[in-house]
Amino acid sequence: MTLTATNEKRISYTQLNMFLRCGEQYRRRYIEGEIIPPSGSLVRGRTCHAAEEKNFRQKIQSKQDLPLAEVLDAFSTAWEEEKYSIAFTEEELEGQTPTAALGTWKDSGVALLTVYQEQIAPLARPTHVEQGFTVNFQGGYPPLIGYLDRIDDHTIIADVKHVAKSPSQGAIDSDMQMTVYDLGFRTAFGRTPTALVRECAVATKTPKTVVQRCEARSPQAINHLLCRIEAFLDAMQKGVFLPADNGHWCCSPKWCGYYHSCKYRQ
């Protein structure tokens, strides 16, 4: 594959996904540097993740999960450090004041962590946590970088999500992020993973968990990803940033912090 030169020093799944979703959103975030404060959902996910990371890092050696109270304490510490950076969307506030919403969203994080630790964490057999990877391309082009949430038994990629609704059946089969993780695993370890697993803690009225599993990506799927990366880098060089259509699901204040100031919005 021949990649097109670009000024980017490195690329990530987050960048690639944002660009494919809406080029204008990407331009404002990564070219213009307009950083939007994180939503409540993003901070909840990030702080839950920090608590789970603490548990799994020690579990590599101990083979045992931390007591739930310690995991929740790690979450609380991370939440207190990040909560004042949150810019709640109107949908997240649900008529509450931002102060009241902070309590509501923290409580939901506690509930998600609790159900995850009770139902999923005991089954995890971590050998690597937050494993970094770098995929280099020939010709001096920017590398693709990322981190794998967890690797179980040296061969299984496990990705953890905290979501508002259950993923659709089979969603993992075509998910680009999991394809990126598969490629990253092969690059870091020189072998093919035995399985891709997504573990979801779902913020329903009564929190629940959903686990999806599939085989490693086919050579065709990996090649499709590389073609997308090639197109992405080519667009970067040419300065082409196509906006999402007004009717696209991501063109809404729920999903885009630039919505109200976007020149392409009707």
* Amino acid identity at 1: M
pTM to 2 decimal places: 0.92
Quick one: pLDDT at residue 2? 41
pLDDT digits (tens, 9 = 90+) for 107-147: 999 999 999 999 999 999 999 999 999 999 887 778 999 99
Quick one: tokens of 139? 């010709």
CA distance 97 to 241: 36
Range 84-111 average pLDDT: 95
Domain membership of residue 80 as a residue range: 32-229
Can you give the CATH number for the domain in which 147 is found? Answer: 3.90.320
Q: Is residue 25 part of a domain?
A: no
Q: Which DSSP string do the residues of 205-251 spell out, in sequence order?
A: SS-EEEEEEEPPPPHHHHHHHHHHHHHHHHHHHHT--PPPPTTSTTS
Q: What is the count of structural domains for the chain? A: 1
Q: Is residue 252 part of a domain?
A: no
pLDDT digits (tens, 9 = 90+) for 203-225: 999 999 999 999 999 999 999 99
Helix axes 98-119, 68-82, angle to 10 degrees: 150
Say if residues 254 and 91 touch (Cβ distance below 8 Å): yes
